[in-house]
Structure 1
């Protein structure tokens, strides 16, 4: 049976390859087109009025490669792979070689590498040290905060809980990433949970756009439904507070035009012109995977739909905006060892990048696409060009069983594809034959070499793609926290706020003095 399966697979693959171009002229044309494109690249030295920072959580280089093949084949290019400037980011945290999302997001958004599992506080704050996190000098201001100080608008979009590890460094300061609501806080703690910081404190309360999941951490004793269950991994608020209502009250008391939406219909019916502050909470926990998403009126929006709405609200500010967009379900799927889910989520985020490109002008908008960390996804064997990225690569000459193109170095119990048999007093370790399983299913868990509770993060570098003003600042191997500094320079915020205008003023003053000297 296995031999027939291999022969059939190779026969089909051979037919696919025969349809692909392999002649000299094809390769020369590809290279010539790339060369001509490279020769047209010019540095954009304008100020980045707008900045959109896409974070594919867990979207390491192998995920990007697999997404490219999934969407169009080996020679295809994703929207952001056509950006003129590319670099690499070193993702280690202040304490770990292999980082978590809290520390890496904090590095990118605040410009300082920090301890694992801490958010928006420097490395003097150890994990769970509430008192240390309250010291003003330990608290780190984010790109969103500096954008607001410069008169710009700011916001975030995520497919995760809005209080989760990647979005929360935009507005929060906490000694532990799990302190999303009061139920997860240590007894008697003097620190605020992340959800309250988002609604009550600056800059959270002044963010013009907040969209994602996490209702159960915002509304006390939230109830789940079959279509929107409570998330066992997420915090469940129990202090009697309803922070969504508090959000509405705060905006009303300040005379601000705000809208709160909870499903597709409400988002589609949004009155953009009369909405300056938008809160969209679409699920109790994380938003569903794109292939599971209810696209009907009562369902939740895609990452593209949220991105579009966010840009339309934010761009009303003539001074520009900062927007962070997280494709968080890439990471969630990788943690569960389900490569097709992860790659489909990566493809969905690429669609959102294209939406952002369509709604903005490269002349004044810096768009960045990167990741916070890698995962342990591998692309294996020597599969034929043009075959299914989720298919079988070949057969092992040792156990005579097929193996898939994609696998993980680490994985959860479901990806343990080995079992022990005893026959004639001889014990053998046998590998499951993937050709006997539905390997093209979204739920299929690829084989993993090491079994853990869940697939771990990887420690490799991640790519960063950029287009727009000062995109050329991303040009080689960078520290991850460099992103904050390069964006600040490009947008003239933070340490670089009003630098250009002060230079102009200095020039004018010099000219006036020169004229005075000449004519006096």
Structure 2
């Protein structure tokens, strides 16, 4: 029985005997867990007769860093305490647990991969399960380069038109999680990929050259610098040294144009608002819009030459809605998190408001086209920030104003503070043996340039580990009703739209331990067969 000793060695891995790991939270684990969550949700039942109806269209809005406190503060900022944002009026609300496989507090790469694939992964990795770690290059070697499938892949296989819009770079973590597989989210262009990872394709190339990226009908956002090789003139225009610079001589925009021309498809490459306004969406099949070298400007600095998130979303819907089989769109408000990283709460609230305007415009268009009842709308976040709402400010007080005065140091403090984050100001000064906190009212706390005080200073903002809310309306929206794993989003959306692993509905959920036992039994049977 030559195989049985091997089988005996495998038993601890399956059943967790001794100090061996009980399981690895890999793709198999999370897919099984997602199915069990979905089965439980289906047993709860829905309202308004939505249980039996499936979604022809799906629109997912991601507010980057839009934790619960950001939503609350934006609501008060724009509508007062009794008001509501557009997406807060959605009939179904749940919570998502945002931790990743290896971290209690997630980053955007691991969080959005979980949402778009149904599989939780390690921090700073995109599209690869927990067997892959940061800077792991084994996945780059053909033919073993196999990543996780996403909602975009499943939608395309179902014949739906797909696309995404973002005011971040289109190679940033959230959009990249729709189409890329990489062990480092920073590998956005070739210059960012280290020499020892020569076989690893950068994120920009994956978007243009591989599926599902090359099949997107709509791609709009920032990050042009990762797609076009640098020229001296271009470099002079860039002040942000963090922008990825393409150095291999490739022009991926030209490659995208050649690909669409070879298929005799109608296409438009857009660089400004005028390009969008002049475009005939009825006769255009493919759109690539790159409106800035790096991150698109925040709303308070955006001029009319750069389209808003609302305008990009509207244009994307006009292109995608021509599909008879429905469509899938992801819209990301990326600058919410960018503002939080700078401890600039007002800008974060302004950017959240911009996301809400895009949601409102979407609902208006879907009503106009009489397809609102066929569309599942999901609004959520990848992770929270460390923004807090403090003190006992009077009702009606500006959320950006002063909450009160500390009874310890007798210095005023603002309603909005950050537990940890970046601060360009000297918050504390020493006077003899005493440490004095700066009075924030020496600045205009309502201005766009004001940075909140922080409890612990860091070079950049830090994410929060809070659960984030998920708001839904439309077919199968009731499947989001309690506290879910973040990876549940992909399972529920795929089931609602009858695509991917749920194109034929929900098969009997297979638990992880059952699967491992089945594999173990199969191995033993093979051993017995060959030994006898």
Counterpart CA distance in 1 for 2:443 and 2:357 is 30
Could you tell me how far apart the structure 2 residues matched to 1:226 and 1:301 are?
Answer: 23
User: Which one of 273, 278, 291 corresponds to residue 264 of structure 1?
Assistant: 273
Q: Distance in 2 between matches of 1:100 and 1:272?
A: 35
Hey, what's the Cα distance between the residues in 1 that align with 2:437 and 2:237? 37
2:216 pairs with 1:207: yes
Task: Give the CA deviation at 1:116.
Answer: 0.4
Counterparts of 1:232 and 1:438 in 2: how far apart (Å)?
Answer: 30
In the alignment, the residues of structure 2 paired with residue 208 and residue 453 of structure 1 have an alpha-carbon distance, to the nearest angstrom, of 38
Structure 2 CA distance for partners of 1:380 and 1:156, relative to 1, 3 Å: same
The answer to whether the Cα contact below 8 Å between 1:55 and 1:325 also exists between their aligned partners in 2 is: yes
1:120 aligns with 2:120: no
Q: If the length of structure 2 is used for normalisation, what is the TM-score?
A: 0.83
Q: Partner of 1:197 in structure 2? A: 206
| Per-residue CA distance 1:138-177 (angstroms, 9 max, x = gap) | 5101100110001001111111000001100111111100
Superposed CA deviations along residues 156-207 of structure 1, whole A, max 9, x for unmatched, are 1111000001100111111100000000001151010000000011110000
Distance 1:222 1:148 in 2: 36
Q: Corresponding residue for 1:518?
A: none
Equivalent position to 1:54, from 57, 61, 64 = 61
Cα distance in 2 for partners of 1:417, 1:230 equals 28
Residue 417 of structure 2: which of 396, 403, 407 is its match? Answer: 407
Q: Secondary structure at the match of 1:351?
A: helix
2:259 aligned with 1:253: no
Q: Aligned-pair RMSD on alpha carbons? A: 1.8
1:154-165 pair list within 5 angstroms = 154-165=162-173
Match for 2:385 among 375, 386, 403? 375
- Tell me the equivalent position of 1:442: 448
Q: 2:237, 2:62 → 1: CA distance? A: 25
Q: 1:255-294 counterparts in 2 under 5 A?
A: 255-294=264-303
Partners of 1:160 and 1:329 within 8 A in 2: yes
For 1:42 and 1:227, locate their aligned partners in 2 and report how far apart those are by CA, in whole Å.
58
Structure-1 residue corresponding to 2:395: 385
Q: 2:509 maps to which residue? A: none
Residues 1:314 and 2:314 are matched in the alignment? no
**Aligned with 2:433: secondary structure?**
strand
- Structure 1 distance, partners of 2:183, 2:127, is 8
- The within-5 A match list for 1:286-435 is 286-295=295-304, 299-360=305-366, 361-414=371-424, 416-421=426-431, 426-435=432-441
1:427 deviates by 2.3
Q: Which deviates further from its counterpart, 176-185 or 44-53? A: 44-53
Match of 2:226 in 1: 217
After TM superposition, the structure 1 stretch with the greater mean CA deviation from structure 2, 230-239 or 472-481, is: 230-239
Tell me, what secondary structure is at the counterpart of 1:291?
coil
Q: State whether structure 2 residue 183 is matched by structure 1 residue 175.
A: yes
Q: CA, structure 1 residues 428+285, in 2 after alignment: closer, same or farther (shift >3 Å)?
A: same
Q: Distance in 2 between matches of 1:149 and 1:416?
A: 55
Looking at structure 1, the residues matched to 447 and 339 of structure 2 have their Cα atoms a distance apart, in angstroms, of 13
Task: State how far apart, in whole Å, the 1-side matches of 2:427 and 2:187 are.
Answer: 36
Question: Partners of 1:83 and 1:292 in 2: how far apart?
Answer: 31
| 1:365-392 deviations in Å (ceiling 9; x for gaps) | 0000000000000000001111111000
How much has 1:45 moved relative to structure 2?
3.0
| Residues 116/382 of structure 1: CA separation in 2 closer, same or farther (3 Å cut) | same
2:330 partner SS:
strand
| Structure 2 counterpart of 1:457 | 463
Deviations 1:77-96 (A, max 9, x none): 11111100000000000110
For structure 1, list consecutive stretches of 5 or more residues without a partner in the other structure: 1-38, 501-520
Q: d(CA) in 1 for partners of 2:75 and 2:124?
A: 31
Rounded to whole Å, the distance in 2 between the matches of 1:413 and 1:186 is: 32
Q: Contact 1:216–1:230 at 8 Å: present in 2 too?
A: no
* Worse-superposed segment, 71-80 or 232-241: 232-241
Q: Is 1:121–1:133's contact at 8 Å kept on the other side of the alignment? A: no
Correspondence 1:241 to 2:247: no
CA distance in 1, matches of 2:272, 2:312: 11
Q: Distance in 2 between matches of 1:438 and 1:477?
A: 39
Report which stretch shifted further, 49-58 or 430-439.
Answer: 430-439
- Contact in 2 for aligned 1:165/1:177 (Cα 8 Å): yes
Q: Shift of the alpha carbon at 1:231?
A: 3.0
1:111-162 deviations in whole A, cap 9, x for unaligned?
1000100011111111111223556575101100110001001111111000
Instruction: Identify if the C-alpha distance between structure 1 residues 95 and 46 changes in structure 2 by more than 3 Å, giving closer, same or farther.
Output: same
Q: Gapped runs of 5+ residues in structure 2?
A: 1-45, 507-532
1:212 alignment partner, SS class: strand
CA distance in 2, matches of 1:95, 1:256: 44
Change (3 A) 1:222 1:300: farther
